[in-house]
Amino acid sequence: MNFPELTVDFKDTCNMLFTAKMPQIIGTAVDLNLFDTLAAEPMGTDRLARELGTDSSMTQSLLEILREGGYLAAKAGHYSLNPVAREFFVSSSPAFQGRVLKSMDKMSTLLGNAREIMTQGGPVHDETLWANEEMMETMLQGGRGGKVQSAAAFVSSLPEFSSMRRMCDIAGSFGYFSMGILDRHPDLSAVVCDLPEVAEAAGSYIAKAGYEGRLEARGVDLGAGGDFGTGYDLVFVSNYLYEWSLDHRLVDFLKRVRVALNPGGVFVSRHMTLDVSGEDLKSQLMMEYMTRLGGYPTHAISEARLTEALTQAGFCDFTVRKPEDGSYDNTLDFAARVAAS
Ligand SMILES: C[S@@+](CC[C@H](N)C(=O)[O-])C[C@H]1O[C@@H](n2cnc3c(N)ncnc32)[C@H](O)[C@@H]1O
């Protein structure tokens, strides 16, 4: 047999073929209640396997992966949770991310069908994708995992924040970002605009979360030019403007926002960007690829594009928080002002 003389090493790629399975492995541990069980009490493999009803040798192997991955600590044969696992993988934690793990897993079916989608065409994007309880719960859980806290910190750091009284959260689902912002300002109230079917379902979430009277859900079809009102001190939009950023619709929309804002009012955008590097860029490029496989044109807006569009729409005095300056994941937080008259 004629074996090839190799010119480069395949080792890193080979490792990656295994480490890429980590989300599935964490998902199994969540499904087995492994993190919940260790949250109650650190324990050794045999006892844990008895509690979970699993094979002890396989459990040992799973525990070692999670330890090496940084999710568990091991001392004197007992495993305990490290902070990330305690915060995000224990089902009773307020920041539990179980649904988010599952929805990422579903997204990967797009990758499984990628060849077919790329050669024969794939799904057409459905803008009502988000209008069901499962997605709304998943987005709430994702929000609680850090996005909302991060956005609220950015908005509340703006010098105008304390004088704001009325805000609009555009395409805001049932208003989880608004809730985080309202928590930091007792005199602020919010209108959250989303598709009529989402706005209808929003009422019970708003009441359950205790924001009735301060947060109103309004059914507005933004694609059809629906009216989101006027007289706002803050207009906030997160993860909605991607498609519009590709053509004149972004500037058209921003002009409408400018009219909706009071003089001195602030527009805040939070959207993902490809203006990142290293591992962040790799993950964002994968997000972009999966987005396009899913039939949606892009999931990123550059700082340059936002700056250009906001300037054309008549905004001034920008405040930008870039991913490397501490925004959540690969998000660009961007505040722009209407001149005070
Ligand atoms: C990616 S989600 C973003 C939700 C939230 N702002 C966030 O960042 O998590 C997009 C939102 O836009 C809403 N949406 C989609 N098409 C819409 C339309 N034509 N009019 C109003 N809202 C729409 C969806 O229902 C969904 O809540």
Residue 200: other Cβ atoms inside 10 A: 13
Task: Tell whether ligand 1 has an atom less than 6 A from the beta carbon of residue 238.
Answer: yes
pLDDT given for residue 207 in this prediction: 95
Beta bridge partners of 320: 334
- Atom of ligand 1 at shortest range from CA of 128: 25
Walk along the chain (341 residues) and give the pLDDT tens digit of each residue.
899 999 999 999 999 999 999 999 999 999 999 999 999 999 999 999 999 999 999 999 999 999 999 999 999 999 999 999 999 999 999 999 999 999 888 878 899 999 999 999 988 888 777 778 888 889 999 999 999 999 999 999 999 999 999 999 999 999 999 999 999 999 999 999 999 999 999 999 999 999 999 999 999 999 999 999 999 999 999 999 999 999 999 999 999 999 999 999 999 999 999 999 999 999 999 999 999 999 999 999 999 999 999 999 999 999 999 999 988 889 999 999 999 87
Task: Tell whether ligand 1 has an atom less than 6 A from the beta carbon of residue 220.
Answer: yes
Helix 278-293 with 98-112: angle, nearest 10 deg: 70
Task: Tell whether ligand 1 has an atom less than 6 A from the beta carbon of residue 151.
Answer: no
pLDDT given for residue 191 in this prediction: 98
Structural contact between residues 284 and 272, judged by C-beta atoms closer than 8 angstroms: yes
Task: Tell whether ligand 1 has an atom less than 6 A from the beta carbon of residue 329.
Answer: no
Task: Tell whether ligand 1 has an atom less than 6 A from the beta carbon of residue 130.
Answer: yes
**Angle, alpha carbons 140-145-150 (nearest 5°):** 100
- What are the CA-CA distances from residue 303 to residues 44, 107, 230, 255, 267 (Å)? 50, 27, 26, 18, 15
- What are the CA-CA distances from residue 79 to residues 60, 69, 243 (Å)? 10, 13, 47
User: What is the Å distance from ligand 1's center to 340 Cα?
Assistant: 30
If you take atom 5 of ligand 1, which residue's CA is the nearest one? 172
If you take atom 22 of ligand 1, which residue's CA is the nearest one? 194
pLDDT given for residue 173 in this prediction: 94
- For 34-67, the pLDDT digits (tens) are 999 999 999 999 999 999 999 999 999 999 999 9
pLDDT given for residue 341 in this prediction: 75
pLDDT given for residue 81 in this prediction: 98
- Domains of the chain with bracketed CATH: 11-95 (1.10.10.10), 111-337 (3.40.50.150)
pLDDT given for residue 249 in this prediction: 97
pLDDT given for residue 125 in this prediction: 82
If you take atom 14 of ligand 1, which residue's CA is the nearest one? 171
pLDDT given for residue 127 in this prediction: 78
- Atom of ligand 1 at shortest range from CA of 143: 9
Name the H helices within the chain.
Answer: 11-19, 22-31, 34-40, 45-52, 56-68, 83-88, 98-112, 114-120, 133-142, 148-156, 176-182, 196-209, 249-260, 278-293, 303-312
Annotate 98-119 with DSSP letters as a single string: HHHHHHHHHHHHHHHTHHHHHH
Task: Tell whether ligand 1 has an atom less than 6 A from the beta carbon of residue 269.
Answer: no
If you take atom 27 of ligand 1, which residue's CA is the nearest one? 173
